Structure formats: structure tokens, C-alpha cells
Amino acid sequence: MTDTYPYMVSNNKLGPIFEKIKTAARPSKFTNEFLKTIGFTSSNDRAVIPLLRRLGFITDDGTPTAAYDKLKDSTLHKHIIGERMRDLYSDLYTVDENIHAASDDEIKGAISRITGKDAKLVNYYFATFKLLASLAKFDGSPISKKEKEKQEKPPEQQGGGNSDEEKRKVKSDFHYNIQIHLPATTDISVYNAIFKSLKDNLII
């Protein structure tokens, strides 16, 4: 049997809390006081702290992790929830790698077999799992907001475009044409002098 899964008896605040994490300033410690600061004052809301800890978003003392920082990036937010769910519920994902898309009965059955808990607790675990899954993405390769902004810049602003090698390439691709108006003369030595000067001074 696995360790019991974290859960919130009242899950209706879980989505709003995750949304607030995205916009609120990063705390030095995610505590009950911080929850109150961002508008979640119910005693039931405090259950999100052990849930965030088990998901790897905060450490044992409440310090936000690198995964927490990804929650604040709208392009990574859903993907990091899905990634951390696969880790927390690894036993469930061993049963079915797409367990989040399975029927409710299948999910409850898997939770019951893995945890060995009674129906009441299984329902709590299931409800929290399902709500987390509704906030997550489990496929695709996310691109961070910073990387997306870099890709949207013109090539000359993306960095790395001024290397010596690229400068040499630009230089080697540069071509120029010179027009020469020769004087009207029958003295061939005049033309010889002009072409010799071109060869000595312009032709590389």
C-alpha cells in the first residue's frame, strides 16, 4: 500500500488558490498567514499547504520551489501541475498512464486498491485528484513565456546574431559593382595604366 494521498475536504477553493498563486508575489514562505493575505481565510483552505508540499511546490518549511515558480508562468502553469501529479500519484499512473482520463469508477477502484482505505477517504482522494486533473495539462511541450518572447523577436534582437562567424558570413556575401568610364583615346598605354591601377588598388 502507498502512503495516503493528500486531500482537501472542501475542494471549491483549490482552483482559485492556484490562480492566485499565478498573480500574487512569490512569498518567502507559503504559510497560513500568506493564504489569508491573498484572500483565503477559511480553516478548510489550510489543507492546500500539505497538498502543495506533497506536489513539490513548497518544501517542508513552506519555501517555494522551482516548480512553484513555474506556476507563475501562464505558459507553464497547467503543464507543471500535470507533471507534479504524475509524480505524486505515480502508483496510479503505473496502473494506467492516462489514469486522469479514465472513468470515475476506474479511478476510484485504482485508488481503493492502492491505498486500502475506506470508501469515505477514497472519495476524498478521488475528488482532489479529479479537480487537480481539471487544472492540468498532460501532453505537449510547453514553451516558457521568456522563451516565447525571445522567439517572437526579430532575428537581430534574439541574441547570438552578432558573432564573428556570422559577421564574416555577411561580409563574404557582400558584392559591389564598379563602373568605369574610359577616356576616348587611341593611346593604349592610357588603358593599361587604368587597369593596372584597378588591379593594384581594388581587386582582392
pTM exceeds 0.85, yes or no: no
Q: Where are the beta strands (DSSP E) in 160-201?
A: none
Task: Evaluate whether 3 touches 111 at the Cβ level (below 8 Å).
Answer: no
pLDDT single digits (tens) 28-85: 999 999 999 999 999 999 999 999 999 999 999 999 999 999 999 999 999 999 999 9
Q: Residue 25: phi, psi to the nearest 5?
A: -65, 145
Longest dimension (CA), the chain: 113
Distance CA 91, CA 98 (A): 12
Helix/strand/coil for 44: helix
- What's the average model confidence in pLDDT over 96-123? 96
Do 31 and 101 belong together in one domain? yes
Identify the pLDDT of residue 163. 55
Q: What domain range includes position 43?
A: 14-142
The residue among 183 and 135 whose pLDDT is bigger is 135
Helix/strand/coil for 34: helix
Do 124 and 150 belong together in one domain? no
Helix/strand/coil for 100: helix
Handedness of CA 171, 172, 174, 176 (dihedral sign): positive
Identify the pLDDT of residue 200. 72
User: Which of 142, 163, 187 is at the close of a domain?
Assistant: 142
The residue among 204 and 5 whose pLDDT is bigger is 5
Do 111 and 179 belong together in one domain? no
Identify the pLDDT of residue 178. 67
pLDDT single digits (tens) 138-191: 986 555 455 555 545 555 555 555 556 555 554 555 555 666 666 767 777 766
pLDDT single digits (tens) 69-95: 999 999 999 999 999 999 999 999 999
Helix/strand/coil for 64: strand
Round to the nearest angstrom and report the end-to-end CA distance of the chain.
79
Identify the pLDDT of residue 198. 72
Of the candidates 116, 94, 105, 111, the residue with the CA atom closest to the CA atom of residue 7: 111
The residue among 26 and 3 whose pLDDT is bigger is 26
Do 91 and 137 belong together in one domain? yes
Of the candidates 24, 103, 95, the residue with the CA atom closest to the CA atom of residue 64: 24
Query: How many CB atoms sit inside 10 A of residue 187's CB?
Result: 9
Q: Residue 58: phi, psi to the nearest 5?
A: -140, 155
Identify the pLDDT of residue 189. 74
Is position 157 within any domain?
yes
Identify the pLDDT of residue 139. 84
Do 29 and 81 belong together in one domain? yes
Is position 186 within any domain?
yes
Identify the pLDDT of residue 144. 47
Count: domains in the chain: 2
What percent of the chain shows pLDDT beyond 90? 65
Handedness of CA 101, 2, 16, 12 (dihedral sign): positive
Is position 45 within any domain?
yes
Is position 2 within any domain?
no
Which residue shows C-alpha cell 552578432?
Answer: 162
Is position 53 within any domain?
yes
Identify the pLDDT of residue 5. 94
Identify the pLDDT of residue 151. 46
